[in-house]
Structure 1
Amino acid sequence: MTEVGKATLADGKRIAEIQIAGWKEGYRRILPDDFLDGLNPESRVPVWERFIRDKKGVMLVARSGSELTGFCHLISSRDEDGNGVAEIAAIYIDPDRWRSGCGKLLFAAAVASAVQQGFTAMTLWVLAENSRGRGFYEAMGMRADGAGKTVERPGCTLHEVRYRMELSR
């Protein structure tokens, strides 16, 4: 049985591993192989540990028994038009657990947390070509709201679209 709770500092390494595994599996035909092959979980551990330690937003994790299977980082929106809006900054599931219901549990926990914190809406940014991710967000009730952005990364350019859902209290 999978349960969702808050991350601890000890989860930082596993969160980084899941993020990088998710990128390598999910974005293989979207982003250049050289970029994906160069990703290293060890370089991401300090980032996730800082978010957990600083309590920047809420870091939720899904566990199946003692195994951490996914995570979701919920923050206040970073967008200029994001006053009163929560943002899912990251949500990743171990690729071996895709389609297991873990993502739905994490997403539902993020919505509940956003509502509890008084947010009126929730957004996230997703790669425009990520049809698997977009399908998941649409199944969860989110819709593309027309906003887009381009992010430069070493070796590639990311084109992202924003998804949004209104939250009821």
Structure 2
Amino acid sequence: MEDAERRRAHLAQADGSVVNLVAEDTGGEVVGWACHGPYRDGELRTCDAELYAICVHPGHVGRGAGQALLAESVVRCAAAGHSRLLLWVLKENGRARRFYERAGFQADGAEEPFEVDGAVIPEVRYARALPR
């Protein structure tokens, strides 16, 4: 529970460092959301950016909303001067891992447990160099 609370507090920062993006369908209905900002290394900020989350409505998975959100996050993080974009993904989430790998991300060997309500779920970190 402590990990989840720490992440909620970080995403709620109102200092402009956390960017939220939405994807809409042709009718203007929100079908996806992404959030990125400075990489979290404990309480220290690094020069890297982090993709905190991408969520797509289940009825729109596979239609390009996730790819568009990820591509826009890459563009914005590069424009902000970051050299890498990092993200954490559940180790057992093969579908998400393949999604990120197709977008040029690679697991970099870092792993950490994510705790939710007493359950420890292993995550792996992915990284991608950003264009200059």
For residue 80 of structure 2, what is the aligned residue in structure 1? 117
1:104 and 1:77 mapped to 2: Cα distance? 21
Contact 1:60/1:73 (8 A) holds in 2: yes
1:83 and 1:76 mapped to 2: Cα distance? 7
Residue identity opposite 2:93 in structure 1: N
Residue identity opposite 2:65 in structure 1: C
Contact 1:126/1:133 (8 A) holds in 2: yes
Q: Which runs of 5+ in 2 are unaligned?
A: 1-7
For residue 51 of structure 1, what is the aligned residue in structure 2? 12
Q: Which residues in structure 2 correspond to 1:67-82 (within 5 Å)?
A: 67-79=29-41
For residue 22 of structure 2, what is the aligned residue in structure 1? 61
Identity of aligned residues (%): 37
Higher-Rg member (1/2): 1
Contact 1:52/1:59 (8 A) holds in 2: no
For residue 166 of structure 1, what is the aligned residue in structure 2? 129
Q: Which runs of 5+ in 1 are unaligned?
A: 1-46
Q: Of Structure 1 and Structure 2, which has the larger fraction of its residues in helix?
A: 1
For residue 89 of structure 2, what is the aligned residue in structure 1? 126
For residue 5 of structure 2, what is the aligned residue in structure 1? none
Q: How many residues align?
A: 122
SS of the residue 1:161 aligns to: strand
1:137 and 1:117 mapped to 2: Cα distance? 21
Contact 1:74/1:90 (8 A) holds in 2: yes
> What's the CA shift string for 1:48-89, capped at 9, x where partnerless?
9x7385534110110112200001101100026962111001
Residue identity opposite 1:140 in structure 2: A
2:116 and 2:81 mapped to 1: Cα distance? 34
Contact 1:86/1:122 (8 A) holds in 2: yes
Q: Of Structure 1 and Structure 2, which has the larger fraction of its residues in strand?
A: 2
The runs of 4+ residues in structure 1 deviating greater than 6 Å are none
1:148 and 1:58 mapped to 2: Cα distance? 25
